Amino acid sequence: MNTPQKQMLVFTSLDGYMIDPSVEGIQTILPALELLHGREVPHIAVTVRSAVEIAPILEALDHDDPFIVESGAAIYLPAERFKINFSYQNSDDKFKIVEFGLARAAILEKLPILRDQYHLDVWSLSELNQDQAAQIIGLSAEEIERVKNRKYTEPIIFNGSGDEIPQLQAAVESLRMHLSRHDRYFVLTGDHNSGGAVSFLLQLYREEFPNTTLISIGLGDGILSAPMLHTVDTPVLVRLPGGHFDDRVGRHGMKFTRESGPVGWNQAVIALVTEDPDA
């Protein structure tokens, strides 16, 4: 709960199986969503996707809190949410946008270097036609178009062998960028991750509530959630479908849910926010 001396914040990854924006999925997590709203607990969404890609999910959640996009490349803050002054790099009619990421155009400029200087067979999604992209990464035409509109990250296809992946990783790091692996492709970003964005946002809340102890809770179910989970006070690893956990995240300091997916997320949020372990 929140008191004048204590403020909870809940960070949720949108990149796994926890949040299902269908009507049935929202009904499953509605008790926790209503609890967060009723107790005025900010609920911060965190994702590797762009603001455009997650807009339908945020709408289904009736979400009106800050959210972090593209692996920590930017934080979207509702324009009137914070009374304190802070630096931001962009804005629109609804949000002040704090940017940490490289512009996508700057990332694309690095691809010829990876090919020509490091002799790596890499291609960005934007260099492939729609049929090629759909066949390789298994996304629909609509999904591919949304991915191509990302502002700070670029999906890439690597045609090398598994043994060459460390070479790709080293080359990317030498260019002061970051590489993350997805099911059928990699994603190039600037030198940032969601953990850095979470830390920045927590500092904003500390300045907004200087006499309040912040308690940060993070929920995720996969490796894409790891930077966020390793930054918050109380990280919660949610079971995957089938009942297992993603061991790549690490287990140190983690709490674990009894159930998987939306049911597990809902139970964990209620238990932590009400401080009732039996909830």
Q: What structural domains and CATH numbers belong to the chain?
A: 6-101+193-273 (3.40.50.1000), 104-190 (3.30.980.20)
DSSP per-residue string spanning 152-187? S-EEEEE-S-GGGHHHHHHHHHHTTEEEEE-SS-EE
| Stated pTM of the model | 0.90
Residue 28: C-alpha distances to residues 201, 236, 261, 264 (Å): 28, 18, 10, 10
pLDDT tens column, 55-108: 999 999 999 999 999 999 999 999 999 999 999 999 999 999 999 999 999 999
Show pLDDT as tens, one digit a residue, over the chain (279 residues): 455 689 999 999 999 888 888 888 899 999 999 999 999 999 999 999 999 989 999 999 999 999 999 999 999 999 999 999 999 999 999 999 999 999 999 999 999 999 999 999 998 887 877 777 777 777 777 777 777 778 999 989 898 888 999 999 999 999 999 998 877 789 999 989 999 999 999 999 999 999 999 999 999 999 999 999 999 999 999 999 999 999 999 888 999 999 999 999 999 999 999 988 766
